Amino acid sequence: MTTPTTPCPVIVGDPFDHAVLEDPLPLHAELREAGPVVFLPEHDVFAVARYEQVRAALTDWQRFQSAAGVGLANFRTEKPWRTPSLLLEADPPHHDAPRRVLSKVLGPRALRRLREQWMADADELVDQVLARGTRFDGATELSHVFPLRVFPDAVGLPVAGRENLLPYGDHAFNAFGPNNALVAKGAPRVEELSDWVGEQCCRKTLAPEGFGADIWAAADRGDILPDQAPLIVRSLLTAGVDTTVHALSAVLYAFATHPDQWARLRNNPGLARVAFDEAVRWESPVQTFFRTTTTEVAAGNVHIPEGRKVLMFLAAANRDPRRWENPDAFDLSRDPSGHVGFGMGLHQCVGQHVARLESEALLTALARRIETIELDGTPTRHHNNTLRAWDSVPVRVGVAN
């Protein structure tokens, strides 16, 4: 273990421990209070948890690189569990062509084409759930279902094997953390799931229309190299399902515990979009990412040496009282823009508009039919080294009319 060269607050304990994953808020407060930069001896890494420092690290890609991996593993010295992502685990200039391509594929034109269908799909799902009764599980019956109804079709995936998407993503997000029991749990299926994902990225597997085909068309145009296309499709499959599933759970849980905010949305369904971003700020479905320093970096009076991992607590930044008034309140009247739940800077979530459309569709459909929503039992967390998630959110709703 290396000790920091200048005095730096030390926080003992493991942020990936089960007790912390169950309720990370006390640790987040402790990290923010300890100082602008802290040291975590458990994993021999530095960490930032205040909004100012998290945002600064996210937007300084030259000194906080992604190419050495955005998990705990340092790709300079450790072999990644899979070929690094061309987007997430790359820096300019290599990062830029794949990013440009994916950003266009997931851009406004594509979303305009999907909007009407996704709105209808959300109405249908909500009708199906309500036909079964007014008590249901918001996680397993809505948020775990809706993204899988619309997103794989939009990519152009065959129907067989779609049940692999969530377990693959869950493992990928666990793999950003330490090699703990959560990673061990996923290990037995890694090869099988990776093989399946690899096959879905081939041109011949993908439908002739969709995000997948659009990525291959970009290779035909020469915007990316043909051997880059499968890995860019892989980014969609890795980052596009679990994230939206858990973000939808977050917004449902937020409303089920804030009836006054649901009443507000009912009165003004136009608030669906701000509600989603406020829920992403409030719960931060993606809790953390790492960067690696490319030079010695001074933050306050702490000097982080070159080549060190820095853990960025997005979730803690999103509730930093230095930035947010009453940060623990889920409040549709605040402006949540500027939250770092989607990151910030040149790696900022390229699929965020897709996620917002999924959420807008589901919330609009729910607001049409549901007058009241409340918890109907104790929700249970799903633990993941990177994601804040729910296995179950039992709710009881009052149906309109």
Q: Where on the chain is the footprint of ligand OVM (CB under 6 A)?
A: 85, 87-88, 172-173, 235, 238-239
Minimum CB distance to ligand OVM, residue 173 (Å): 5
Q: Are strands 302-304 and 297-299 parallel, antiparallel or unpaired?
A: antiparallel
| Between 150 and 236, CB nearer to ligand OVM | 236
Residue spans of alpha helices (H) in 311-387: 314-317, 352-369
Helix, strand or coil for residue 71? coil
| Between 85 and 292, CB nearer to ligand OVM | 85
| Between 172 and 256, CB nearer to ligand OVM | 172
Minimum CB distance to ligand OVM, residue 239 (Å): 3
Minimum CB distance to ligand OVM, residue 209 (Å): 22
CA atoms of 325 and 212, how far apart (whole Å) = 42
Minimum CB distance to ligand OVM, residue 231 (Å): 8
CA atoms of 259 and 261, how far apart (whole Å) = 5
| Between 118 and 168, CB nearer to ligand OVM | 168
| Between 16 and 173, CB nearer to ligand OVM | 173
CA atoms of 389 and 212, how far apart (whole Å) = 27
Q: Please, which residues bridge with residue 1 across strands?
A: none
Residue 241 backbone phi and psi in degrees, to 5? -115, -60
Minimum CB distance to ligand OVM, residue 88 (Å): 4
CA atoms of 18 and 24, how far apart (whole Å) = 10
CA atoms of 346 and 88, how far apart (whole Å) = 10
Minimum CB distance to ligand OVM, residue 139 (Å): 20
CA atoms of 114 and 262, how far apart (whole Å) = 26
